[in-house]
Amino acid sequence: MNLFRRVCIPFLRQVPKIATPRLVALSLLTSHLVLYSKRVNASTTPNPEASNNGFNKYEKFSDQIYEQIHQTHDIIIVVDPDRFVEHFLDELLQVVDQVIKVQKVRSKRPLKVLTLNEPITEKLVRDFEQKYKITIEQDTIMLLKNKYIQRIYNFNANDYFENRILLINYFKKINKLTHKKLNEFEQILSYLPSTESAVLVYADKTSPQYKNVQTRFCIMQQNDNYQKNEKLHWILIDKAVADRLGIQNIQNGQLFILQKSSKLNNFQSSITINNKKLLITSAGTLGGKSMDNVMEDLTQAYNDVNVFSNRSFGKQATKYSIVLELDLNKIPKHEETRLVKAFGELKKYLKETNPEILNKTEFIYLNKTPKDNHLGYQVYIRDDEKYGDRLRQHQETNMDMMKKLSVFNEFGQAHSYIFRLDEQIQVSKDSLISFFMAVKNGHANEYFQTQEQPKYKKYSIKLVGKTFQKEVMESKKDYAIFQYSKNCHACGEYGQYYENLALESYKQENPTMIYGRMNNDHNKPSCIQDFPYTPVFMVCKKGIQNYPYVYRNQKFTPELLKSFFSVTNAINLIPEEQYQKLQADRALYIQNQ
């Protein structure tokens, strides 16, 4: 578990300030925000006039103000802005100002910005945590409160790397479906792409559970895997509208999936709206279950009526993934229809003959250009269970079990666990069944993508399993690590940018971060988490090497990668001995309650 996510530590005034050389923040991930990055020196000193920062225009946080507005307003609480260096402070101020502007355009709900800028003491942190059920972490930037959700969300430095779009999505409005809104709703459904779906929940305003349903639906929208299009999430509060949609005997908290009738769901339909056939599927209820179980119900309901899985609802634990990857610009419509039909027939066959395997198999539809292929499409299967063996292998202490879980074949070659259907074979129900059974029974050959890696000079330090403990875990400096593999095309593409950063560090007289690289196929240090994929970019901070920062972003640019390493290097941690003392004090405090 990440150190930052398990510690409640006050922002002590003597702690060095957080510096950032380049923070693109939210502008790269949402069209709503437009920010301009600034070039900043990592050694920038704190602003001596921090008390005059731009956040002074916002009201100071107090318990009284919070109690007055938390039921009616969305709230952003900026935690101790005085502690930030000037450049980071300026960009953070732009972010907050832009979020306010976005909210004014898309929602009538008021948004209030408060600043918690009194001296952060240990007592203040503990009192705040007990009162508001929130942990202030060492790298907390701001606290977010959606008026529909009772809990406060801790938005910290990791969110800049992993989930920056959350700052926008957290305040996403809830669409309420009434008779007045019916025309708008029907127009949205009329233009709904066949690959997308809308989710509808019924909330009876006369029920005492009305607010609970509203709150849970809002929480559901925050799910990382859930669709981000706010126009596709609706709360139905008018029973007459349910009758118009042909939904009978509707219950409070009941969920429905709405989608266009198409080849992807075997042209099933429930109702016709604006001359468009739509399929409405019941998907359980919101009440009496965890949010993970709600997502599982949505996933199962969708998969029951569709050929391919909807990954927006989350991914179930699977044994196999069978993938249809095609370029719609290269193949005609009738060819796509034929391929989808063959996948539907395979799914029907598994449902009739082996439902247990079907429940552990995910059918995936990808619209992208296949590599090493001239047909415009390809079919492959991935053994997801064996693909995860690398993680389990290094949790075992039994040698026989470790050999059984080995990720290498008898020739010492790393397994890909991917099997591709020969492009000379015509895709049909029979050929897909034969191919699937060959993979299941271990008779298919693994596929290794052949891609010549670009040539570039390496300036990073080569790491191997035997030296990893000494080089990284005992390092007196922060350590950047690039994990790559031989058959990874992205590694060859992105590696050159990493080596450029290593060169910049190499030129410095006293660099604050060391850059290393490690072949993930042949080196599996047991002292850190293993990854079943590449590339992996991570930073092991001095003093907490066991809890590295990992670059997780749906986009990759050289600027983002540079920002990731620079910002993580600039985040200063409190000394380990001080952390241990705080942990001991916290444990004693909890014990005495």
For a pLDDT cut of 70, what percent of the chain falls above it?
77
pLDDT for 133: 84
Q: Is the pLDDT of residue 3 over 60?
A: no
Q: What is the per-residue pLDDT for 335? A: 93
Give me the pLDDT at residue 256, please.
94
pLDDT at 116: 85
Q: Are strands 271-273 and 111-116 parallel, antiparallel or unpaired?
A: unpaired
CB 305 within 8 A of CB 263: no
Residue 79 has what pLDDT?
A: 86
What number is the average pLDDT over the span 48-60? 71
What integer pLDDT is reported at residue 275 of this predicted model? 86
What's the CA angle centered on 227, arms 226 and 231, to 5 degrees?
A: 135
Burial state string for 207-238 with b = 16 or more CB within 10 A and e = fewer than 16: eeebeebbbbbbbbbebeebbeebebbbbbbb
Q: What pLDDT is stored for residue 417 in this prediction?
A: 81
The residue assigned the tokens 């996948």 is 343
The rounded mean pLDDT for the chain is: 77
**Residue 355 above 60 pLDDT?**
yes
With residue 315 as reference, give the H or E element that holds it.
none
The secondary structure element, H or E, covering residue 588 is helix 576-591
Q: What is the pLDDT of residue 207?
A: 86
- 94 versus 572: the higher-pLDDT residue is 94
Angstrom distance (rounded) from CA 387 to CA 262: 33
pLDDT tops 70 at residue 45: no
- pTM for this one? 0.66
| CA 512 – CA 510 distance, rounded (Å) | 7
Rounded mean pLDDT of 136-156?
A: 84
Secondary structure letter of residue 425 according to DSSP: S
Neighbours of 332 (CB within 10 A): 10
**pLDDT of 65 over the 60 cut:** yes
What is the pLDDT confidence band of residue 1, given thresholds at 50, 70 and 90? very low
Q: Where are the beta strands (DSSP E) in 83-169?
A: 111-116, 140-145, 153-156
For the stretch 219-266, pLDDT in tens is 887 776 665 666 788 999 888 889 888 888 898 999 999 999 999 888
Give Cα 406 distance to the centre of its chain: 29
- Opening angle at CA 69, ends 68 and 72, nearest 5: 130
For the cut 60, the answer to whether the pLDDT of residue 374 exceeds it is yes
Helix/strand/coil percentages in the chain, nearest 5: 40, 20, 45
pLDDT value at residue 290: 84
Q: State yes or no: pLDDT of 336 exceeds 50.
A: yes
Least confident interval from 86-90, 212-216, 456-460: 86-90
Which of 12-16, 352-356, 541-545 is least confident? 12-16
How far is 330 from 369, CA to CA, in rounded Å? 9
H-only helix segments in 232-388: 239-244, 291-305, 333-353, 355-359, 384-387
Q: Highest mean pLDDT: which of 107-121, 130-144, 275-289, 407-421?
A: 275-289
* pLDDT at residue 429 greater than cutoff 90: yes
pLDDT (mean) for 402-408: 51
Q: What is the pLDDT of residue 421?
A: 92
The least confident of 99-113, 299-313, 389-403, 530-544 is 389-403
Tell me, what DSSP letter sits at residue 508? Answer: S
Q: Which ranges in 206-290 belong to alpha helices (H)?
A: 210-221, 239-244
Residue 271 CB: number of other CB atoms within 10 A? 16
Question: Using CB atoms within 10 A of its CB, is residue 182 exposed (0-12), middle (13-18) or buried (19+)?
Answer: middle
Per-residue model confidence (pLDDT) at position 342? 95
pLDDT higher at 466 or 398? 466
Higher pLDDT, 559 or 341: 341
pLDDT mean over 18-34: 27
Whether 325 contacts 291, CB under 8 Å = no
Lowest mean pLDDT among 63-67, 484-488, 573-577: 573-577
The residue with greater pLDDT, 244 or 402, is 244
Q: Calculate the dihedral angle through the C-alpha atoms of 397, 402, 407, 410, rounding to the nearest 10 degrees.
A: 150
Residue 127 pLDDT grade (very low, low, confident, very high; cuts 50, 70, 90): confident
User: How many angstroms from the chain centroid is the CA of residue 364?
Assistant: 19
Partners of 405 in beta bridges: none
> What is the model's pLDDT at position 280?
93
Residue (of 55, 44, 42) closest to 92 by Cα position: 55
The predicted pLDDT at position 113 comes to 92
Q: What per-residue confidence (pLDDT) applies to 317?
A: 73
In the chain, count H helices and then E strands.
19, 20
Per DSSP, the residues of 536-576 read EEEEE-TT-TTS-EE---S---HHHHHHHHHHHHHPPPPPH
